Amino acid sequence: MTEVVYRLYETVDELTTVIENARSLPMSSSCMVPRDHLLDLLDDLREFLPEEVQQAGAIVEQRTEILQQAQAEAERLTGRTRSESESVIGTARRQRDELMGTARRHRDELLTAAQAEADDLLTRAEAAAERLVTEGRRRRDQLIADGEAQHDELVAAGQEEHDRLVTETEVYRGAVDRADELGAQTAAEVARMRAEVDEYVDTRLADFGNTLSHMMRSVDAARGTLRQP
């Protein structure tokens, strides 16, 4: 492959050299080249072209046929795809309709079951509520009865306590009055006894004073007698 590439470059260089060294025509940009030599170089160049390039050239020459075949195959595949798509869409629609029907039936069954369960729950709730109301009324009546009984007991106990307190108050008042009376009597007796004691003490002191005066006179008389010669 490397030798082929080298020969290609060598042939191209030789073509370039021939064209550059060609004799120019007067009053023109054209030149005179050796035809046979150039044709030989072109044949060599064509001969040394890689097989892939030759195949590419053949493919380019056959591109119209290939494009037509590809177009026909594309149309065939498009028609087949369209047919398969329509078949798939039809199948999907049938499956969708079947699923929708099944879903609707399942929904209706669920709604029926839910409605029945709701009715049952409502019935049980109403029965439970009725039982609670009845029990509440019974407990209310019992509490009212107990409250009234306790109220009557408290009123009776209060009345009894009131009567007892009234009785005790009357006794207390009688005791206070009696105590006041006894206190007054005691104070009078104490005053009387104090007066008697004072009178007794005063009498005894008077008697003692008289006796003491008599004794003093006796002493004075005795002293006078003793002082006489």
The 10s digit of each residue's pLDDT in 166-209 is 777 777 777 778 888 888 888 888 888 888 888 888 888 888 88
Give residue limits of the domains in the chain: 1-60
Least confident among 4-18, 43-57, 125-139, 188-202: 43-57
Give one word for 27, left, alpha or beta, with left for phi > 0 and alpha for psi -120 to 50: left
User: 20, 54, 56: which is closest to 38 by C-alpha?
Assistant: 20
If 0-12 CB within 10 Å is exposed, 13-18 middle and 19+ buried, where does residue 175 land?
A: exposed
Helix (H) or strand (E) holding 31: strand 31-32
Measure the N-to-C terminal CA separation of the chain; round to a whole number of Å. 207
* pLDDT tens-digit readout, 114-163: 787 777 777 777 777 777 777 778 888 888 888 788 888 888 887 888 77
* pTM of full prediction above 0.75: no
SS3 content of the chain, % helix, strand, coil (to 5): 90, 0, 5
